[in-house]
Amino acid sequence: MAGNRTFTMIKPDAVEKNYIGGILKMINDAGFKIVAMKYTQLSKEKAGAFYEVHKERPFYGELVEYMSSGPIVAAILEKDNAVEDFRTLIGATNPAEAAEGTIRKIYAESIAANAVHGSDSDENAKIEGNFHFTAEEIIG
Ligand code: RTP
Ligand code: MG
């Protein structure tokens, strides 16, 4: 049986600094298989809708501005225990608190510009993957 799936974005700060290759290498080296991927830029409307769950948080406006400020890479990843293992690989939200060897420790600059997104549950992984990809674009 195929492993389960999570959804990720390489965020505008990391794309801007040419970290796409380094981050994808870490993702592949950790055993994740890419089953969908695109290079794109979110409109403010789309970023706002993606982060709708954070609408009441004080950083929502800043988050929407930032996530629509430049291109991103969106991808669906497959591996056993994908959601939890990917959260471990990326590290804490605040890079200052992220463990050594994690993607955010290596590539993130701040709590807001923190290089990567990772889904926080199987349910959200499915919602977020379907937000960015059609069924035809997911090639497992
Ligand atoms: P993500 O959803 O991007 O994987 O990050 P996360 O679960 O580790 O963190 P979450 O609480 O879901 O926050 C979503 C994103 O909002 C930005 N943020 N800014 N300025 C701030 O205090 C602050 N706190 C969070 C980050 O970009 C975070 O990844
Ligand atoms: Mg989150």
Strands of 1-134 (E only): list them. Answer: 4-10, 33-40, 72-79, 116-118
* Domain covering 4-137, topology: Alpha-Beta Plaits (3.30.70)
Centre of ligand 2 from the C-alpha of residue 118, in Å: 7
Q: Locate tokens 């801007």: which residue?
A: 16
Q: What is the pLDDT of residue 140?
A: 85
Map out the domains of the chain as residue ranges: 4-137
59 is in an annotated binding site: yes
pLDDT tens digits, 71-116: 999 999 999 999 999 999 999 999 999 999 999 999 999 999 999 9
- Could you report the per-residue pLDDT of 17-62, keeping only the tens digit for each? 999 999 999 999 999 999 999 999 999 999 999 999 999 999 999 9
The pLDDT value recorded for residue 1 is: 40
Residues with C-beta less than 6 Å from any ligand 1 atom = 54, 59, 63, 93, 111-112, 114, 117-118, 120
pTM score, whole prediction: 0.96
Q: Rounded to 5 degrees, what angle do the CA atoms 48, 54, 55 make? A: 65
**CA–CA distance, 60 with 65 (Å, rounded to integer):** 9
d(CA 77, CA 63): 23
ipTM of this predicted complex? Answer: 0.95
First to last CA, the chain: 11
Q: Answer for the pair 134, 36: CB distance below 8 angstroms, yes or no.
A: no
Record the tokens describing residue 42, joined without a space. 């979110």
4 strand-pairing partners: 79
List the structure tokens of 101: 């060897």
> CA–CA separation, 26 vs 109, rounded Å?
18
